[in-house]
């Protein structure tokens, strides 16, 4: 990685413009939504034409598989990729990704060839070796990050940071509570909270290796970790009061829903905010109305795609710069991950993608799987 990064700097400093012309262009596409193992296939595509004045041609370096990507392919997600009539009416899969700028249109001035960028436009079609995007659809990646850090920095870590910052007014020493604490966002919440001197109560499902998981989350900076069974114990409210010295908890983060979330919300104090960003239990969010009326609870949702859509380019860059600073300072680590290199015939790559998705789904709470198209 350091070698590659060094190379990038060298390329940049000599204004060498690398070319995509000799690289194969391949993408993971689908023509109708459905079960990914049935609808996805890898396909060789014609080379990208030179970019229009406002566009960039990118070489994709790494493409994470996120759980929402599967929902998009299944057709059960509200945001969809644009259909590509130029490629025979297919969709290109993939939302998140790290890419290197290879060629820029005449009026582009915010990036130069050699820069690393991530996508702020949702569903840009990152499961491809090359991409053409508008200048406004990317965010330049700050210097000093590894490929994996950069490739996984535009969805989960900023979700965590925005949720910690945009809803409740918190001061160092304040507690927050979250469920699904071992999810990718949950782990980012733990680390960013610690970096901001916030304390966290983290809820996870019980499992055979629970003490191992608790140790892992503690080592990331979790103040307390409880299972949902422990949350349901009568003594928990008292324990939490002792932990917080009676100070009220003003922020709860939810990616689960259902009864466990009702219990978690009961830990919040007056004037608190519950922010939901997922619904892993597939149960609705069910809360006593009295929490809203008498405790002045406010319940919000957070969706990173909407945040990008409603914020300026400089806001986006500022957000990633803050996260990069935490990464460089060693306070925010890349997720545990596995890189799957795609190579061979279209059929072989299709099969490799299906396998990778299987790993990604099974590993919802485990390793992040990232795709890399081999340069052959």
Q: Which of 31, 146, 248, 262 binds a copy of itself (CB under 8 A)?
A: 262
228 is catalytic: no
Site for a copy of itself (CB under 8 A): which residue of 296, 341, 345, 361?
Answer: 296
Closest by CA to 5, choosing from 328, 291, 292, is 328
Tell me the β-bridge partners of 204: 227
How many residues are given for the chain?
376
Provide the minimum distance between the beta carbon of 375 and a copy of itself in the complex, in angstroms, as a whole number.
Answer: 37
Piece in contact with a copy of itself (CB under 8 A), picked from 14-22, 182-190, 284-292, 360-368: 284-292
Is 263 a residue that touches a copy of itself (CB under 8 A)?
no
Binding part of the chain for a copy of itself, among 26-34, 87-95, 238-246, 296-304 by CB under 8 A, reads 296-304
C-alpha gyration radius of the chain: 22
Q: Which of 13, 22, 290, 312 binds a copy of itself (CB under 8 A)?
A: 290
Q: Does 301 contact a copy of itself by CB under 8 A?
A: yes
Contact between 171 and a copy of itself by CB under 8 A: the answer reads no
Contact 250, 271 (CB under 8 A): yes
Closest CB to a copy of itself among 211 and 296?
296
Of 219, 260, 253, 225, nearest in space to 239 by CA: 225
Q: What is the DSSP letter of 169?
A: -
34 binds a copy of itself (CB under 8 A): no
List Cβ neighbours of 333 (8 Å cut-off, separation of 6 or more).
191, 220, 327
- Residue 32 and residue 141: Cα distance in Å, rounded? 33
**Rounded to an integer, what distance in angstroms lies between the CA atom of residue 275 and that of residue 252?**
6
Catalytic residue among 30, 77, 228, 291: 77
Least distance from a copy of itself to the Cβ atom of residue 291, Å: 7
Phi, psi of 89 (to 5 degrees): 60, 50
Q: How many residues touch a copy of itself (CB under 8 A)? A: 29
| Catalytic positions | 77
């Amino acid at each position: 990685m350091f070698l590659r990064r060094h190379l990038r700097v060298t390329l940049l400093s000599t204004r060498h413009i690398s070319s995509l012309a000799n690289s194969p262009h391949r993408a993971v596409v689908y023509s109708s939504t459905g079960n990914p193992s049935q609808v996805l296939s890898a396909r060789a595509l014609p080379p990208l034409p030179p970019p229009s004045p406002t566009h960039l041609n990118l070489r994709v370096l790494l493409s994470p598989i996120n759980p929402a990507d599967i929902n998009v392919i299944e057709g059960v997600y509200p945001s969809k990729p644009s259909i590509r009539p130029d490629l025979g009416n297919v969709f290109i899969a993939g939302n998140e990704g790290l890419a290197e700028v290879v060629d820029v249109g005449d009026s582009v001035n915010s990036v130069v060839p050699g820069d690393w960028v991530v996508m702020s436009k949702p569903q840009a079609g990152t499961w491809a070796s090359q991409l053409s995007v508008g200048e406004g659809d990317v965010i330049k990646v700050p210097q000093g990050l590894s490929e994996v850090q950069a490739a996984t920095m535009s969805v989960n870590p900023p979700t965590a940071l925005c949720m910690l910052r945009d809803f409740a007014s918190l001061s160092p020493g304040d507690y927050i509570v979250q469920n699904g604490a071992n999810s990718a966002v949950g782990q980012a919440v733990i680390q960013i909270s610690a970096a901001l001197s916030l304390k966290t109560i983290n809820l996870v499902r019980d499992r055979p290796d629970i003490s191992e998981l608790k140790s892992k989350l503690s080592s990331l900076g979790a103040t307390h970790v409880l299972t949902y069974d422990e949350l349901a114990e009568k003594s928990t409210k008292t324990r939490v009061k002792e932990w917080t010295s009676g100070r009220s908890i003003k922020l709860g983060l939810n990616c689960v829903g259902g009864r466990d979330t009702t219990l978690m919300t009961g830990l919040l104090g007056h004037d608190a905010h519950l922010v939901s960003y997922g619904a892993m239990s597939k149960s609705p969010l069910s809360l006593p109305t009295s929490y809203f009326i008498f405790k002045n609870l406010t319940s919000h949702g957070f969706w990173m795609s909407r945040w990008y859509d409603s914020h300026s380019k400089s806001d986006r860059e500022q957000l990633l710069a803050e996260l990069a600073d935490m990464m460089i300072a060693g306070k925010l680590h890349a997720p545990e991950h596995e890189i799957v290199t795609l190579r061979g015939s279209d059929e072989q790559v299709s099969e490799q993608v299906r396998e990778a998705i299987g790993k990604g789904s099974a590993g919802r709470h485990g390793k992040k799987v990232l795709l890399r198209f081999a340069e052959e």
